[in-house]
């Protein structure tokens, strides 16, 4: 049982949650889908801490990095969705650089080539969450196939996984670049069944953002929202099957799903 395998992860989960008591995972679906889960597709930010980028931005732009990074992040998502809906695809690194140029103009910042490279490179140098490796190892022992399913380019994903020492734990690397689109386009989520060779009902999706949880659930994945940053619930019905704050919560939900 996954539950037993994850008892050892309790201390690690507490590190992720900080000093506050962690709320239990809560179910948000009215009917349980009971197809056997054979694989998990992960949004990268459920595995890596995206706030790493803000810390890098603060080093490059002392006192201004957090606000700069927020503008950059919002425009990054907007550009990816605009390009997807308009059929004007450019890969995630290119979109990220376009959004970076926009943020620099908004904040009246002149970025040197070195600063620009440092900021863009931050997305390939994210720090894994403390519970990431031990939880992935437990999933592998349980016989589950694993893959990130992310908007990052294939090169970005590979560099990030190798730098984090996690590449050996994944059976596949799935970039939405393969479909020339971005999540939450159904064509992006459809890469999971294609690559795993499994029905969507047999692939659990681990989402970091509420919008991604909604998109994955709409596609038909059994979906768990790993809400690490305690974001408000999105009003995008139907929402994820369940939500929690750590990968340990995801494991407990999978255990209940299999019961």
Domain that holds residue 217: 2-49+128-258
Q: Which helix (H) or strand (E) holds 10?
A: helix 10-17
**Domain match, 207 and 232 both:** yes
Instruction: Tell me how far apart the alpha carbons of residues 155 and 164 are, in angstroms, rounded to a whole number.
Output: 14
Task: Name the residue among 99, 154, 129 with its Cα closest to residue 206.
Answer: 129
Q: Which residues are catalytic?
A: 43
**Boundary-marking domain end, from 90, 124, 158:** 124
**Domain match, 45 and 155 both:** yes
State yes or no: pLDDT of 59 exceeds 90: yes
Token pair of 172, please?
């596949």
**Domain match, 118 and 142 both:** no
**Domain match, 64 and 159 both:** no
> For position 24, what pLDDT does the model report?
40
pLDDT digits (tens, 9 = 90+) for 186-218: 999 999 999 999 999 999 999 999 999 999 999
State yes or no: pLDDT of 11 exceeds 50: no
Q: Where are the beta strands (DSSP E) in 102-248?
A: 127-128, 145-150, 174-175, 203-207, 223-226, 242-244
State yes or no: pLDDT of 168 exceeds 90: yes
**Boundary-marking domain end, from 124, 143, 170:** 124
**Domain match, 117 and 229 both:** no
> For position 257, what pLDDT does the model report?
85
> For position 258, what pLDDT does the model report?
81
State yes or no: pLDDT of 22 exceeds 60: no
Cis amide leading into 238 (omega within 30)? yes
pTM score of the predicted model: 0.86
67: domain CATH number is 1.10.150.240
**Domain match, 192 and 240 both:** yes
**Domain match, 175 and 155 both:** yes
**Boundary-marking domain end, from 91, 124, 157:** 124
First to last CA, the chain: 9
How many helices (H) and strands (E) would you count in the chain?
Answer: 12, 9
**Domain match, 74 and 110 both:** yes
33: domain CATH number is 3.40.50.1000
Quote the percentage of the chain above a pLDDT of 90. Answer: 85
> For position 35, what pLDDT does the model report?
82
**Domain match, 56 and 94 both:** yes
Torsion 195-198-200-205 (CA) sign: negative
**Domain match, 68 and 180 both:** no
Instruction: Tell me how far apart the alpha carbons of residues 141 and 104 are, in angstroms, rounded to a whole number.
Output: 46
Our count of domains for the chain comes to: 2
**Cα angle vertex 74, ends 100, 195, to 5°?**
90
**Domain match, 17 and 28 both:** yes
**Domain match, 180 and 195 both:** yes
State yes or no: pLDDT of 162 exceeds 60: yes
Task: Name the residue among 68, 104, 87, 80 with its Cα closest to residue 209.
Answer: 80
- The alpha carbon of residue 128 and the mean position of all alpha carbons in its chain are separated, in whole angstroms, by 11
Where on the phi/psi map is residue 108: left (φ > 0), alpha (ψ -120 to 50), or beta?
A: left
**More confident site: 63 or 32:** 63
């Amino acid at each position: 049982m996954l539950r037993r395998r994850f008892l050892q992860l309790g201390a690690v989960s507490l590190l992720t949650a900080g000093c506050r008591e962690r709320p239990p995972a809560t179910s948000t679906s009215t009917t349980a889908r009971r197809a056997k889960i054979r694989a998990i597709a992960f949004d990268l930010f459920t595995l890596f801490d995206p706030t790493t980028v803000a810390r890098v931005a603060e080093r490059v732009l002392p006192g201004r990095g957090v606000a700069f990074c927020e503008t950059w992040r919002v425009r990054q998502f907007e550009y990816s969705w605009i390009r997807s809906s308009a059929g004007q695809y450019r890969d995630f690194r290119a979109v990220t650089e376009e959004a970076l140029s926009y943020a620099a103009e908004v904040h009246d910042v002149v970025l040197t080539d070195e600063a620009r490279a440092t900021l863009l490179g931050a997305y390939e140098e994210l720090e894994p969450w403390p519970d990431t490796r031990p939880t992935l190892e437990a999933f592998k022992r349980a016989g589950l196939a694993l893959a990130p399913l992310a908007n990052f380019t294939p090169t970005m994903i590979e560099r990030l996984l190798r730098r984090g020492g996690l590449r050996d734990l994944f059976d596949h690397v799935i970039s939405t670049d393969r479909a020339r689109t971005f999540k939450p386009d159904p064509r992006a989520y459809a890469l999971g069944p294609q690559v795993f060779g499994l029905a969507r009902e047999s692939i659990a999706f681990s989402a970091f953002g509420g919008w991604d949880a909604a998109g994955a659930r709409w596609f038909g994945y059994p979906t768990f929202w790993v809400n690490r940053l305690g974001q408000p619930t999105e009003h995008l019905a139907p929402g994820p099957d369940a939500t929690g704050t750590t990968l340990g919560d995801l494991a407990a939900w999978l255990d209940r799903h299999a019961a």
